[in-house]
Structure 1
Amino acid sequence: MTEHRHRLREFEALRALVTTGTTIGSARRLGISQSAVSRSLAQLEARVGRALFVRSSGRIEPTAEALRLNERLDPIFETLAEIEGADWAAPEDEPLRLIVPPTLAHHFIISRVARFLKQHPNRRVQLEIQSTDVLVAGIVDLRYDLGITSGMIERTGVRLLPWRRSQIVCAMPVGHPFEAKTMIEPQDLDGVEMVEFLRRLGTRANTEKLFARAGITPKTIAETATNMAALELVREGLGVTLINPFPLLTSDFPGVSVRPFNAPIHYQTSFVLPANRPVSEAARQFMRFVKLFTPNDRFSEPV
């Protein structure tokens, strides 16, 4: 081993301290003494030539350099954990705090959570079902480890990992005249009865820009905040709607027909993580599981 090769124990001490915030907690997690943790960190700081932690209010806070180094170590320790069949970074009984909006929760994620827990009986999940606004605030405040949403997010403090991409479609009740078309054009919607989304949502802003450019004015019958409510209103015959097809329309939705809509409006379903905190092993494990057990469909594709 060369003199300048970073030792695994030093990296373990770094990750433990980033996670726990104290040398006592790090020592317990690694099963070594506090002095051994401090010694490993001092050696690592000497090797990289910069301070990696600062003391603040009784805790030891990682610097930006420490967080970047820790993130680069993720693949190494993920591989080691898979090889050893153990979760080194967190106790098995530490729950994954997951937050998901209603549509994704009830029509996609809940079944994946159930399957995940059956395959990983030592894991626990705390599942919160809230709007995307609440999801983002909770991730920023570190009340949740992982979020999943198709919402259009522009907010500091969170990191998005897109994993599914879909394009807007036009949904209509069975028997609607649009069923005769293979593709719905924006001009087709002029004067047509529509179920639209509330103006505070990103989807509504995008469709209104599209209508303005095309010089058309649909007839808004109802407005709602969720994809499920929009489709239920369409099924009741209140008009058509423009909607993200993933995941609600990836399988048959009785009483509703779907046609492609010719517009450059796309959606990304993303994992949402805190911007400056290490990703827990449970969160990484669940993200891998969701990607693996998302079947192919006609409306979405992996990113």
Structure 2
Amino acid sequence: MCIFPNGHHLERFSEITPRLIADERIIHTRRDSDFFKSLEDAFLDEDCSLISLVETRQFTAACEIVSNGLGIAIVSELDAMQFVHRNIQIRPFSPAISHRLSLVRPTFKQPSAITLEFIDAFAATLAPFEMRVAPSQ
């Protein structure tokens, strides 16, 4: 998702593309992340350069910066929705960029029943944010 402060000129668009924000300074994830590489590729595919404002380790930090009126960001929908009532607008970014979440647990021992229940419950809360892939034609 693309997020930006209320009152930003991007409000008039229903979807944000790299070309629309080619002149914007972007708050983004670390350059060594898969998400950033996909974002940068999206800009390159449209012959645009991504202009960096701030590099963050977490989407939450990017959302916080944008909610204070300082720039725009491309973040996960999960994180963007946590800031929907905090002075930001949210628009789909095209092309869609996937973001993976991982749970880390020891591999040398069997997880407890409560751990397995937590993993199932956590996965269920993420279901609304899963990317849907169109079936092949």
Q: TM-score range by the shorter chain?
A: 0.7 to 0.9
* Equivalent of residue 222 in structure 1, options 36, 51, 54: 54
Flag the structure with larger Rg: 1
1:173 paired to 2:5: yes
CA distance in 1, matches of 2:83, 2:74: 17
Structure holding more strand per residue: 1
CA distance in 2, matches of 1:187, 1:218: 10
Which residue number in structure 1 is paired with residue 39 of structure 2? 207
**Cα offset, 1:275, TM superposition:** 4.3
* Equivalent of residue 192 in structure 1, options 24, 42, 45: 24
Question: What amino acid is aligned across from residue 269 of structure 1 in structure 2?
Answer: L
Encode CA deviations 1:70-123: one digit per residue, 9 max, x unaligned.
xxxxxxxxxxxxxxxxxxxxxxxxxxxxxxxxxxxxxxxxxxxxxxxxxxxxxx
**Cα offset, 1:237, TM superposition:** 2.4
**Structure 1 gap ranges (5+):** 1-168
* Equivalent of residue 286 in structure 1, options 85, 97, 118: 118
CA distance in 1, matches of 2:55, 2:44: 18
Q: Which has the higher contact order (CA 8 A, sep 6+)?
A: 2
CA distance in 2, matches of 1:183, 1:256: 15
Which residue number in structure 2 is paired with residue 244 of structure 1? 76
Any residues of structure 2 matched to 1:11-26 within 5 Å, and which?
none
What percent of counterpart residues are identical? 23
**Cα offset, 1:213, TM superposition:** 1.9
Q: 1:248 to 1:239 in 2, by over 3 A?
A: closer
Contact 1:195 1:240 in 2 (8 A): yes
Any residues of structure 2 matched to 1:72-151 within 5 Å, and which?
none
The number of residue pairs the alignment matches comes to: 132
**Cα offset, 1:301, TM superposition:** 3.7
Encode CA deviations 1:124-171: one digit per residue, 9 max, x unaligned.
xxxxxxxxxxxxxxxxxxxxxxxxxxxxxxxxxxxxxxxxxxxxx101
**Cα offset, 1:276, TM superposition:** 5.2
Question: What amino acid is aligned across from residue 271 of structure 1 in structure 2?
Answer: L
Q: 1:282 to 1:296 in 2, by over 3 A?
A: closer
CA distance in 2, matches of 1:225, 1:194: 14
Give SS of 2:53's match. Answer: strand
Return the TM-score normalized by structure 1: 0.39
Contact 2:35 2:98 in 1 (8 A): no
Encode CA deviations 1:180-201: one digit per residue, 9 max, x unaligned.
1111112112111221222122
Return the TM-score normalized by structure 2: 0.79
Give SS of 2:45's match. Answer: helix
Root-mean-square deviation over aligned CA pairs: 2.6
1:262 paired to 2:84: no
